[in-house]
């Protein structure tokens, strides 16, 4: 069963949240019920596929073993090389899934493996940094399996998550959570099942596959809007569900199509993902390269960091060529944006004027939509990418 898609899923969801609501109202801790509910929901998502169930159980055991083992090792040494080794070991199952299409046409992996891997890597890195000094197995399991965001995010951080689940909310505070949760769920339903469905059924699927400027532009805009409402809708429902369980998941979208630059766009689009890559890929690469003086200029470190970060993000989505091109395109735009904003006198002179800001929004919107066109794989129809 796919999360947040069918009527039967929402029925199961609403019924299963009743005990959580009662626990919240009576000022009891929800995390133990939430852990059991997440295990149940993961089993529901996997369904009757025994191979995927076995894959999931092996994956869970492997990742917990890595986390616990690294915590023991970290208490004895803080070598960065060991941290990197454990990261490689933790992402190895995901790599098998991402590259499996080169070797087999059968389904490999299970729902949520990408986002769960993000959670594991964050724990290992922050354990190395000394930010995580102890790990509770129940809290770890709940964080790894937290079902509202297991399929498509938002990507939470373990320390923030643990603060939420171990806090007992006052009744009034829990009522506020419920109110926010209801609003977010209905917002998500409107986005996903009304706006995205209208765009998909009455525009996107009716666009001709002919190689014309009109059809390509129509698909570019239709797909970009469809993807936003579908994905933002899912995120809102996931966030709303989290509130009923006493967890404040991070926001994922903040009016991204009103951004004035591509740097701002990535501060507004799939925010939990872009912030994760910023913190654990870009920043660490730049700091390491500057510490070891790999390059003469810090801007070289930054620009190469942009390219590496977005390329990794593209490959994370998939190993098909159009995802790689998408990542390189986004990296190039970030480099060009930074250089333009630092060097261009016209930009510095007019950046606060309303006409210039409106023009910047228009240009950024089109650059972002073209990136999503690359991401969609639509151009493979014409260029066999």
Q: What is the pLDDT of residue 168?
A: 93
| Residue-averaged pLDDT of the chain | 94
Per-residue pLDDT reduced to its tens digit, 170-192: 999 999 999 999 999 999 999 99
Q: What is the pLDDT of residue 108?
A: 58
pLDDT in tens, 207-219: 998 889 999 999 9
User: What is the pLDDT at residue 39?
Assistant: 96
- Residue 26's pLDDT band, with cuts at 50, 70 and 90, is very high
pLDDT band, very low/low/confident/very high, at 193 (cuts 50, 70, 90):
very high
Return the structure tokens found at 67: 């986390």
243 SS3 class: helix
Closest CA to 78 of 124, 27, 23: 124
> pLDDT tens digit string along 59-85?
999 999 999 999 999 999 999 999 999
The pLDDT value recorded for residue 381 is 80
Mean pLDDT of 86-113: 79
Question: Can you give the pLDDT at residue 189?
Answer: 97
Residue 140: count other Cβ atoms within 10 Å of its Cβ.
19
Rounded (5°) CA angle 338-341-347: 160
Report residue 49's pLDDT band, with 50, 70 and 90 as the boundaries.
confident
Give the residue with greater pLDDT, 285 vs 6. Answer: 285
Q: Residue 187: helix, strand or coil by DSSP?
A: helix
Dmax (CA) for the chain in angstroms is: 63
pTM of the model: 0.94
Provide the 3-class DSSP secondary structure of residue 44.
helix
Average pLDDT over residues 46-58: 89
Query: Do the beta carbons of residue 169 and residue 27 sit within 8 Å?
Result: yes
Peptide bond into 154 cis (omega under 30): yes
Looking at residue 206, the DSSP 8-state letter turns out to be G
Residue tagged 């055991």 (tokens)? 61
Q: Are 239 and 15 in contact (CB under 8 A)?
A: no
Q: Is 202 a catalytic residue?
A: no
Q: What CA–CA distances, in Å, run from 352 to 75, 301, 358?
A: 51, 29, 10
User: For residue 258, is pLDDT > 80?
Assistant: yes
List 128, 270, 317, 350, catalytic entry: 317
Band (pLDDT 50/70/90 cuts) for residue 206 is very high
* The pLDDT of residue 5: 86
DSSP string of 117-150, one letter each residue: HHHHHHHHHHHHTTS-----HHHHHHHHH-GGGT
Task: Answer whether 30's CB lies under 8 Å from 161's CB.
Answer: no
Q: Return contacts of 305-308, CB within 8 angstroms, 24+ apart.
A: 305/281, 306/282, 306/331, 306/334, 306/335, 306/338, 307/331, 307/332, 307/335, 308/281, 308/282
Alpha carbons 30 and 250: distance in angstroms, whole number: 19
Percent of the chain, pLDDT > 90? 86
Token pair, residue 272, equals 């939990």
Phi first, then psi: give them for residue 336, nearest 5 degrees: -65, -40
Tens of pLDDT along 300-349? 999 999 999 999 999 999 889 999 999 999 999 999 999 999 999 999 99
Residue 100 · residue 113 · CB < 8 Å: no
Which range (96-100, 221-225, 260-264, 364-368) has the least confidence?
A: 96-100
Query: Integer distance in angstroms from the first to the last C-alpha of the chain?
Result: 31
**Confidence band (pLDDT; 50, 70, 90) for 385?**
low
pLDDT tens-digit readout, 148-158: 999 988 999 99
Span 100-125, pLDDT tens digits = 766 554 455 678 899 999 999 999 99
Confidence of residue 18 (pLDDT cuts 50, 70, 90): very high
The pLDDT value recorded for residue 378 is 92
Q: Beta strands of 115-240 (E only): which ranges? A: none
Q: Where is average pLDDT lowest: 36-45, 199-208, 289-298, 359-368?
A: 289-298
């Amino acid at each position: 069963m796919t999360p947040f898609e069918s009527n039967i899923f929402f029925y199961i969801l609403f019924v299963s949240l009743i005990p959580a609501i009662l626990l919240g109202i009576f000022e009891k801790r929800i995390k133990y019920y939430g852990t059991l509910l997440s295990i149940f929901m993961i089993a529901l998502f996997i369904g009757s596929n025994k191979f995927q169930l076995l894959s999931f159980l092996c994956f869970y055991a492997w990742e917990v073993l890595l986390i616990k083992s690294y915590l023991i090792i970290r208490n004895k040494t803080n070598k960065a090389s060991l941290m990197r080794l454990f990261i490689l070991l933790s992402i190895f199952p995901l790599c098998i899934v991402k590259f499996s299409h080169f070797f087999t046409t059968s389904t490999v992996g299970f729902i949520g493996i990408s986002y769960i891997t993000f959670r594991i890597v964050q724990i290992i890195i922050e354990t190395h940094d000394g930010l995580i000094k102890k790990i509770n197995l129940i809290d770890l399991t709940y964080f790894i399996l937290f079902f509202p965001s297991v399929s498509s995010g938002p990507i939470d951080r373990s320390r923030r998550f643990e603060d939420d689940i171990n806090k007992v909310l006052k009744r009034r505070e829990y009522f506020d959570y419920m109110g926010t949760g209801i609003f977010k769920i209905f917002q998500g339903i409107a986005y996903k099942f009304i706006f995205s469905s209208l765009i998909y059924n009455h525009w996107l699927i009716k666009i001709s596959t002919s190689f014309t400027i009109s059809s390509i532009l129509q698909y570019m805009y239709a797909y970009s809007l469809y993807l936003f409402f579908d994905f933002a809708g899912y995120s809102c429902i996931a966030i709303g569900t989290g509130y009923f369980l006493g967890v404040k998941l991070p926001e994922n979208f903040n009016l991204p199509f009103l951004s004035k630059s591509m740097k701002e766009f990535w501060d507004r689009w799939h925010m939990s993902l872009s912030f994760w890559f910023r913190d654990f890929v870009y920043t660490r690469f730049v700091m390491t390269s500057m510490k070891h003086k790999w390059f003469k200029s810090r801007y070289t470190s930054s620009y190469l960091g942009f390219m590496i970060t977005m390329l990794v993000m593209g490959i994370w989505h998939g190993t098909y060529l159009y995802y790689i091109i998408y990542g390189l395109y986004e990296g190039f735009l970030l480099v060009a944006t930074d250089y333009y904003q630092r060097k261009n006198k016209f930009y510095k002179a007019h950046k606060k004027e309303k006409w210039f800001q409106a023009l910047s929004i228009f240009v950024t919107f089109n650059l972002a939509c073209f990136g999503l066109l690359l991401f969609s794989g639509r151009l493979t129809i014409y260029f066999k990418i």
